[in-house]
Structure 1
Amino acid sequence: MRQAKQDFRAAIVLTTCLFFLWGMANNLNDILIAQFRKAFVLSDFETSFVQQAFYLGYFLLAVPAAMVTRTRGYKAAIVTGLLLYAIGALLFYPAAHFGEYRYFLAALFVIAAGLAFLETSANPLMTEIGDPAGAARRLNWAQAANPVGTVTGVLIGKYFILSEIAHDERALSAMAPAARDALLRQEVVAVQAPYLVIGLVVLGFAIAAALIRFPGHVEDDGPRESVPFSAIFRQPRLLKAAGAQFFYVGAQVGLWSYTIRYAQANLPGTSERTAADWLFASLVLFGLGRFVGAWLMGRVAPALLLAVFAGISLLLAVAATMLGGQAGLIALTAASFFMSIQFPTIFALGMAGLGPLARAGASLIVMAIIGGAVLTAAMGAVSDRAGINVAMLVPAAAFVAVLAFALSMRRAGVAVDLTAAPAH
């Protein structure tokens, strides 16, 4: 066994880096929403197309990615995912050249397709590679790289994409057409260089993955033939978890997508770079909440803690709607601390006791993150009609669904081990 650990050490390091890479990609979208709103003069609903294209890629590729992992092995899935990620990032270069919003959306779809392969393969790989006794520790270390990636994504966006220029629509309409086009063109091109570098770095990881030794096959949780995939739809707890995950991811993605927009609307004169500091603070609190939540989980039942955190998130989202201004922005930012444990806890509660259905059940919960597209679009539509503050009622309603799920799991007395739950 010691030799096995030695052989797969490089694979463990590279797989840990995957958690960083998809965390970075996910939260760069929050920056792109602010940037594209300005560069293409979009409504809030139109900016939600960023998350719609992104999470549609996850939704459509989750099951194919799981099939590739199962039939072709971890290495094939990881190399495929990294290549798709790299291609999508490199497509930003021609998209910026042509200056078409739809081309960027297509590139984001390709990136998300790659991430579906990476997320589907990386979590189980970290539990199965090397010494079984160290599985939980390896997974926890790998998951620690995820919030580092999310913070890095925001910092890249703040310093290399967002500008200090605050575009006023009246001022833009008063400008000469040539000057206006030049200004907007400058904002579009700002995304070109950062994504080119990201694409080349990810391509380097793909080449490294192709050269590194990975486990040759995927271990099954049980007999394949005896348990059909359709059996997961006869698991009420799993279906409830998928529904709760749909609403949770929608709330998380929606809140972070519109944090910069909320800050600028409630603190007039705030530039995108300054507003991005609130998003940065949200992610720091999110990471801190993971550590505090993990500590509390040893003392409080997971379902109860999930109910408490979802309830507080609900109250803070309502406060962001009702208070507005600096107080509302503080409430919106603070909600991230209490969102921290919700994804892995919902996942673990839904997967408890599935046995040979575990892999199929996991893919269903991964597909549920399409909520990030649906609820972000809903928030954009509400914002265009009633304002960004009122749009915060959408994630508030989503937290009600999570709270109801947590309470139902508490009544059922479901007990789980969170060490194998994925990070997102």
Structure 2
Amino acid sequence: MKPSIFKYEGHNYLIPFLLISSLFFMWGFAHGILEVLNPHFQESFHISKAMSALTQAAVYGAYFLMALPAGWIIQKWGYRKGVTTGLMLFGIGALMFIPGLLVNSFYYYVLSLFVIGCGLTCLETSANPYTTVLGHPDKAESRINLSQSLNGIGWIVGPLVGGQLLFTGVSIAVPYAIVGILVLVVAFIFSRVKLPDPRKTHEAETQETRKDIPINVVAFTFGILTLFLYVAAQTGVNSFFINYAVECIHIEKQKASMYLAFGGMGLFFAGRLIGGVLMNYIKPKYILMVCAMLTIFSTLVIVTCNGLVSLAAFFALYFGESIMFPTIFSLALRDAGTHTKIASSLLIMTIVGGAVAPILMGYIADTTGSMATSFIIPLLCYVVIAGYAATRRK
């Protein structure tokens, strides 16, 4: 009999899985709307592409600084406290955009985004590993990909809402004020909901058989590097899709944000949903390898071509990226042995990669005058991801 995706040793985790999965939409939206801020700030504050990338640096840099404290919160008080802490910080950072209208400073908005990033770190440090233990261990990759499919919906709505509002003259504070209020309401709800802690159920029951499982240092370290490079690549692509679309495909910004939302992020969502189902039948490392090869080929087209061919390559790229983060995260977590809590925090820290690639790509674009050339950075990242998939053992 095949293991059940949501059941393990007499425990059914479907309801807590659905509750925690709803959070994936929220930070997907936060990251999605972030991608339209780059061109918006470039126009509003007359800054360079490299300078506008500080918006990504603030959010993803927060992951590096906040991941270990978030892990400590979860270790001491449990997953629910980690979730509510994250939601509170997320909501406060979003509401900071309201006084930002009076301050009217690019660096103030960067500070607000940093606070949001701290909240997102707590959410991801809690929710990502939590989904992997809510059922049979052999179905961990499938569960996290299904949860991350809701994250993909957030990535669709984020640039859609942001593009339609910001590129039509609506104040930047409006979407963030709405999100801030909604997030604080959800924080209150989660503070009243009791979430089961698998650490006190099946993990405790199997402690004697698991206590001698060591960490595979080499494989886990390679997983950390791979996840760092994936987030770097994904963030770089998202940050400059609109700039690329305007300069190389000759599409206006508002239309480009629509392509990003429905085309790119739509396929991103579909890929995660399809990948989550396929992993019940095909080993995750094989699916990861196929997706890595697709992203390599697509990025080569983006670097060397332009026009509609490049737009199609972007769509294929987003489809290939879809399963990468949750799959790499779960595979790397398997190599951590019984050290899953500290390993989860270390893996979340790799999201700081998103602070690096946009600045490098912005600098290349500013100095060479070619937005297409800057996509060599994500191309190199995808090559390493393919290497990780190829070297994974059973």
TM-score bracket relative to the smaller structure: 0.7 to 0.9
- Map of 1:402 onto structure 2: 385
- Map of 1:192 onto structure 2: 173
Q: Secondary structure at the match of 1:214?
A: coil
1:376 aligns with 2:358: yes
1:258 aligns with 2:240: yes
Q: Secondary structure at the match of 1:258?
A: helix
What CA distance in whole angstroms lies between the structure 2 residues aligned with 1:97 and 1:204?
Answer: 26
- Map of 1:207 onto structure 2: 188
| 1:41-60 aligned within 5 A | 41-60=46-65
1:271 aligns with 2:258: no
Alignment check: 8 A CA contact 1:260 1:276 kept: yes
Instruction: Look up the equivalent residue of 1:114 and give its one-letter code.
Output: G
Deviation at 1:113, TM superposition (A): 0.5
Residue of 104, 108, 111 corresponding to 1:103: 108
Residue of 268, 271, 280 corresponding to 1:289: 271
What CA distance in whole angstroms lies between the structure 2 residues aligned with 1:210 and 1:5?
Answer: 23
Change in Cα spacing, 1:384 to 1:160, as seen in structure 2 (3 Å) is same
1:238 aligns with 2:243: no
Q: Secondary structure at the match of 2:292?
A: helix
Deviations 1:274-295 (CA, angstroms, capped at 9, x unpaired): 0112211111111122233345
What CA distance in whole angstroms lies between the structure 1 residues aligned with 2:357 and 2:387?
Answer: 18
Deviation at 1:140, TM superposition (A): 5.9
Change in Cα spacing, 1:240 to 1:357, as seen in structure 2 (3 Å) is same
| 1:65-84 aligned within 5 A | 65-84=70-89
* Percent of aligned positions that are identical: 31
Q: Secondary structure at the match of 1:388?
A: coil
Structure 1 unmatched runs, 5+: 164-186, 416-424
1:314 aligns with 2:296: yes
Structure 2 unmatched runs, 5+: 1-6
1:248 aligns with 2:230: yes
Alignment check: 8 A CA contact 2:32 2:159 kept: yes
- Map of 1:35 onto structure 2: 40
RMSD across aligned positions (CA): 2.9
What CA distance in whole angstroms lies between the structure 1 residues aligned with 2:76 and 2:301?
Answer: 49
Deviation at 1:368, TM superposition (A): 1.1
Deviation at 1:38, TM superposition (A): 1.4
Deviation at 1:207, TM superposition (A): 1.6
Deviations 1:46-95 (CA, angstroms, capped at 9, x unpaired): 11111100001111111111110110122221111111000000011112
Residue of 157, 161, 164 corresponding to 2:162: 157
Alignment check: 8 A CA contact 1:73 1:216 kept: yes
- Map of 2:284 onto structure 1: 302
What CA distance in whole angstroms lies between the structure 1 residues aligned with 2:189 and 2:275?
Answer: 35
| 1:119-158 aligned within 5 A | 119-126=124-131, 142-158=147-163
Structure with max Cα Rg? 1
1:18 aligns with 2:36: no
Residue of 366, 369, 374 corresponding to 1:391: 374
Residue of 312, 337, 346 corresponding to 1:355: 337
Change in Cα spacing, 1:14 to 1:277, as seen in structure 2 (3 Å) is same
What CA distance in whole angstroms lies between the structure 2 residues aligned with 1:332 and 1:6?
Answer: 40
Deviation at 1:394, TM superposition (A): 0.8
Give TM-score, length-normalised by structure 2: 0.87
Alignment check: 8 A CA contact 2:149 2:272 kept: no
Alignment check: 8 A CA contact 2:28 2:151 kept: yes
Deviations 1:154-186 (CA, angstroms, capped at 9, x unpaired): 2211222222xxxxxxxxxxxxxxxxxxxxxxx
What CA distance in whole angstroms lies between the structure 1 residues aligned with 2:149 and 2:324?
Answer: 16
How many aligned positions are there? 377
Deviation at 1:404, TM superposition (A): 1.7
Instruction: Look up the equivalent residue of 2:123 and give its one-letter code.
Output: L
Deviation at 1:216, TM superposition (A): 6.9
What CA distance in whole angstroms lies between the structure 1 residues aligned with 2:277 and 2:181?
Answer: 38
Instruction: Look up the equivalent residue of 2:57 and give its one-letter code.
Output: Q
Deviations 1:344-390 (CA, angstroms, capped at 9, x unpaired): 22223322243211222222221111111111111111111121110
Change in Cα spacing, 1:126 to 1:318, as seen in structure 2 (3 Å) is closer
Deviation at 1:134, TM superposition (A): 12
